[in-house]
Amino acid sequence: MSAPNIILRNMSPAELLAVRELELLVQPDDPWSLTIFSDCLRVGYPAWVLMAEDVLVGFSILMFAAGEAHLLNIAIQPTWQGQGLAKRLVRAMMDFSQQKGCTRIYLEVRPSNTRAIKLYEHLGFQYDGVRPDYYITSTGREDALLYSHDLTPVS
Ligand SMILES: CC(C)(COP(=O)(O)OP(=O)(O)OC[C@H]1O[C@@H](n2cnc3c(N)ncnc32)[C@H](O)[C@@H]1OP(=O)(O)O)[C@@H](O)C(=O)NCCC(=O)NCCS
């Protein structure tokens, strides 16, 4: 059987339950609620899903503010990880943000999330600093590492 074609498209309200299910799977300590996801769509934050035929294999959500883009959330189904899908999603978000006139994209990541850190560093994000005790964990709090990437078009 051939590998399914993976399509990147806008998230729709009909996908919110599947998105929340994936969130629970990959962020069990401090998952976003269904309300947070649906509020993101309601206020018009750019949000995408990666679909393998009718199966949701990943999602990402962005926010724009004052000419800056903020990567709020991204996840790939565990069985689909390690195949470059997150790289594809982040690159798509960076391109979209640049087209919308943003000059920089920002994100936060847990120091324990070495896979995500590797992903962002691979894509050229620069480390900007630490926000102490930012995340909830099963045993207390964890710092957030701050990363950003220039989006100024090269002339
Ligand atoms: C972080 C996450 C989005 C990466 O998704 P992914 O599709 O596996 O990532 P990619 O396949 O695009 O790989 C990106 C980098 O991650 C690393 N990586 C991917 N799978 C890995 C694995 N199984 N073990 C170690 N590193 C791995 C690779 O080093 C890769 O970089 P490389 O091409 O230089 O080798 C995914 O692991 C995930 O959904 N995690 C849970 C949610 C999360 O942590 N979101 C980020 C919050 S800041």
To the nearest whole number, what is the mean pLDDT of the chain?
Answer: 95
Ligand 1 centroid to 43 CA: how many Å? 28
Q: Quick one: which atom of ligand 1 is closest to the CA of 81?
A: 8
Express each pLDDT in 85-108 by its tens digit: 999 999 999 999 999 999 999 999
Q: Is 113 exposed, middle or buried (0-12, 13-18, 19+ CB in 10 A)?
A: middle
Q: Which residues are catalytic?
A: 108, 120
The listed CATH number (3.40.50.970, 3.40.630.30, 3.10.105.10, 3.30.390.10) that belongs to domain 6-150: 3.40.630.30
Q: How does residue 3 score in pLDDT terms, banded at 50, 70 and 90?
A: low
Asked if residue 106 lies in contact with residue 68, where contact means CB atoms within 8 angstroms, the answer is yes
Ligand 1 neighbours (beta carbon < 6 A): 26-27, 74-76, 81-87, 109, 113, 115-116, 118-119, 122
Which of 8, 59, 56 lies closest to 32 in space, CA to CA? 59
Domain ranges of the chain: 6-150
